[in-house]
Amino acid sequence: MATFKGIEFPDRVATLVRHMPAVVDHREALAALSAAWDTLALLAHLSDPKADMGEVRESFGELTGELLVCLAEETLALADAALGHRAQISLELLARSLSGHRAGIGQLATDAVIVEACAAGDGAGLGALHERLRRHAAPSRSCRDIVLLTPDGQVLARLVAGFAGRSSSPLVARALSGPGAQVEACETADFCDGERALTLACRVERDGRAIGVLALVLDLEREATAIFERLATNDEVLAFVDDQERIVVSNDAARLPPGRRLGLRPGAAALRLGGVTHLVAQRQGSAGPGWSAVALAPVELAFGDDAPDTAPVDFSGETVFSQRLLDVPVRAREIQRRLDRMVWNGRIHQSAESDAFSRSLLEEIAATGRRTKEQFERACSELLASAASGLLGEARLLAGLAVDLLARSRDDRGEDDLPFEAALRAALPGTPGALAAFCRRDGAVIGRTGELPVTLPASVLALAPGQSWSGVLAEGVERFIVGAASGGDGLIGIVVVPCGRAVDRHVAAVPEIASVAGGAEIATFLIGEHLLGVPAHDVVECIAVTAAVRVWRGGFAQRHVGFVTWNDMALPLVDIGADVNASGAAQRHALVLEAGTQRFGLLVSELGPVADMQLTGERGLAGRHDANRLIAQLARSGPLFIPVLSPEAIFGGPAG
């Protein structure tokens, strides 16, 4: 662990926090609130606000540290995933390209003209032989040369003029004696004029006997450039790395020159290049002779400083977000509700006192608690929005990648199904249930990896060539992240990622209630969306109900739903959700109330203010509605009326 501005962060993220604008901004805002809590704690020594300020400060510090650490770690994880995704795509694109080259050179090695030339052992029929090589190389952008050699290494023919003697390259021997028909290596070879090159060497056989070697020499710079140029969008550096951790080729030879040792420590998140710290992600693959891919970005750019380009997240996200990311807002609200209970109980315990200073101090504590809650909720909302924004960007990138790959594959293979399949598979995200597709502007799907689960809007089908789009689409209660990109051939690449079901992350806001001079003290709360109250003198305290034992009953006692241990006794729990048309509402607190000599816990969703309110003259309400039977009076503050419930009716009255 290491400390940054008073907050302890894990070592892997500590040195990067200063480069994360969102974390820095929230830390400063929370630091101001921390100073406010310190001031309130100092003032509490001058009075007795009936609130444990030590618990407040501890809760605040716990939540602040946990939230900032999680913000930092998730910010790093999101940036690492974005870079890692680019590195992984690089490997997959190289692997697919090499697979195509292997298939092509393998097929060429069976060509009759090639076989006859090897069997004859000379360059007779050189014109026809050269034409075969030229025709094979023509569609490829990265074929540098094709060389035909005898088993003893003599060059019979080659596409480009160069070394024409007897080769001593080990590649020839490995191709002739290896367990497979082909070998692949990135090394220097005399038939490549002594230059380091990525070469595919294939045996030429007749009647099961090796009679020659056909070597395809690839222009690795051009191959890599075609892959990297699409993926490097924000000064990122992309490179292929060999099994000795040396750079094979990169898109920026100044920062990562070929032959340089990467020097990345296991588990490290950053690497210094040219005096600048870069965030780094490395991914392993089978492309090339055991190569990996690395993606780097300067830390000043890696974490961004723009607000997320997405609306508040309205989907559950269990298929696309980490569980920790989903747990952050939940954990924040749990700690915040503990703070709410503490402040609320302090106000209740003060209800019989008239110390103006103590009451004002507790009101300021409550106001500071609300500001703290708003700051935490804003931070959590931005965290989810940033994650969603990253997913939208990746979907858009993959859709564009599919379009580009299709165009390249068509150049190489023409109009058949293979280009469609290859492009779609390369663009397919790893999320379970994800799919990729191509469609025409009329909406007709012409290639897909699965059934489209959503209807594409007209604006997506109207994308102009080169344009792209991403967003969240709905199909019933299901939600999908969709990316789209339009190619120059009238086709649109589509990537669809399921992201869960619709959720409402809105937390019911409790209105502020102005105290009325000479009024009665009313403790308010929410059950679902309904704002209700009870006389403050009937409240013993508010407690958590996480360890409640539920006992479901019917008939007269159906409101009595279980027990919780409180002060070494089994406290009955009462649920009036059905009585106030809020069945199934969240039950996060229990108000310990007194009905005569009986104490019980009323289950509520959220806590409201404790305020002096004017009681109406009516006692009880007429009518047989379940809720009316529970209401003793109405309390008023300005235009706001709140039903004041009777503890006796809640606990002992009939349920209907």
Q: What confidence score (pLDDT) does residue 8 get?
A: 87
Q: What confidence score (pLDDT) does residue 48 get?
A: 65
Give residue 298's pLDDT band: very low, low, confident or very high (50, 70, 90): very high
At 90-142, the pLDDT tens digits run 888 888 888 889 989 999 999 999 999 999 887 666 788 888 899 888 888 88
HEC per residue, 121-151: CCCCCHHHHHHHHHHHHCCCCCEEEEEEECC
**Mean pLDDT computed over 618-644:** 76
Question: How buried is residue 444: exposed, middle or buried, by Cβ count under 10 Å (0-12/13-18/19+)?
Answer: exposed
**Mean pLDDT computed over 537-544:** 92
Place of tokens 């420590």: 265
Place of tokens 């490829």: 140
Q: Is the pLDDT of residue 358 over 80?
A: no
Contact assessment for residue 536 and residue 609, using Cβ atoms and an 8 Å cutoff: no
Q: What confidence score (pLDDT) does residue 548 get?
A: 65
**Mean pLDDT computed over 621-629:** 57
- Which region among 112-121, 122-131, 199-208, 428-437 has the lowest average model confidence (pLDDT)? 122-131
Q: Is the pLDDT of residue 510 over 80?
A: no
Place of tokens 């700051």: 375
At 306-331, the pLDDT tens digits run 554 546 788 999 988 888 778 877 77
Q: What confidence score (pLDDT) does residue 553 get?
A: 54
- 3-state secondary structure (DSSP) of residue 73: helix
Q: Is the pLDDT of residue 508 over 90?
A: no
Q: What confidence score (pLDDT) does residue 624 get?
A: 45
At 251-278, the pLDDT tens digits run 999 999 999 999 888 888 999 988 899 9
**Mean pLDDT computed over 480-491:** 92
Residue 502, token pair as written in the block: 């619709």
DSSP 307: P
Q: Is the pLDDT of residue 29 over 60?
A: yes
The two counts, helices (H) then strands (E), for the chain are: 14, 28
Residue 591, token pair as written in the block: 């108000």
**Mean pLDDT computed over 18-28:** 89
Question: How buried is residue 49: exposed, middle or buried, by Cβ count under 10 Å (0-12/13-18/19+)?
Answer: buried
Q: Is the pLDDT of residue 586 over 90?
A: no
Give 326's contacts (C-beta < 8 A, 6+ positions apart): 317, 318
Q: Is the pLDDT of residue 287 over 70?
A: no
Q: Is the pLDDT of residue 296 over 90?
A: yes
Q: In whole numbers, what is the pLDDT of the chain averaged over residues?
A: 85
At 44-55, the pLDDT tens digits run 777 766 666 777
Task: Walk me through the domains of the chain, giving residue ranges and CATH numbers.
Answer: 1-305 (3.30.450.20), 413-501 (3.30.450), 520-652 (2.40.50.180)
Rounded Cα distance, 221 and 247, in Å: 12
Rounded Cα distance, 387 and 73, in Å: 12
Give residue 408's pLDDT band: very low, low, confident or very high (50, 70, 90): confident
Contact assessment for residue 247 and residue 259, using Cβ atoms and an 8 Å cutoff: yes
User: Dihedral, CA atoms, 578, 580, 583, 584, nearest 10 degrees?
Assistant: -130
- Which region among 167-171, 289-293, 377-381, 606-610 has the lowest average model confidence (pLDDT)? 377-381
Q: What confidence score (pLDDT) does residue 590 get?
A: 94
Give residue 622's pLDDT band: very low, low, confident or very high (50, 70, 90): very low
Give residue 545's pLDDT band: very low, low, confident or very high (50, 70, 90): confident
* Cross-strand partners of 598: 595
- Which region among 248-257, 286-295, 326-335, 453-462 has the lowest average model confidence (pLDDT)? 326-335
- 3-state secondary structure (DSSP) of residue 348: helix
Rounded Cα distance, 494 and 439, in Å: 8
Q: Is the pLDDT of residue 481 over 80?
A: yes
Rounded Cα distance, 17 and 316, in Å: 28
- 3-state secondary structure (DSSP) of residue 276: strand
Q: What confidence score (pLDDT) does residue 450 get?
A: 93
Rounded Cα distance, 425 and 210, in Å: 35
Q: Is the pLDDT of residue 619 over 60?
A: no
- Which region among 89-98, 167-176, 201-210, 642-651 has the lowest average model confidence (pLDDT)? 89-98
The rounded percent of the chain whose pLDDT value lies above 90 is 40
Q: What confidence score (pLDDT) does residue 655 get?
A: 39
Q: Each residue of 475-497: b (16+ CB within 10 Å) or e?
A: eeebbbbbbbbbbeeebbbbbbb
**Mean pLDDT computed over 173-197:** 88
Q: Is the pLDDT of residue 556 over 90?
A: no
- 3-state secondary structure (DSSP) of residue 166: strand
Q: Is the pLDDT of residue 388 over 60?
A: yes
Q: What confidence score (pLDDT) does residue 49 get?
A: 63
Rounded Cα distance, 104 and 430, in Å: 29
Contact assessment for residue 117 and residue 232, using Cβ atoms and an 8 Å cutoff: no
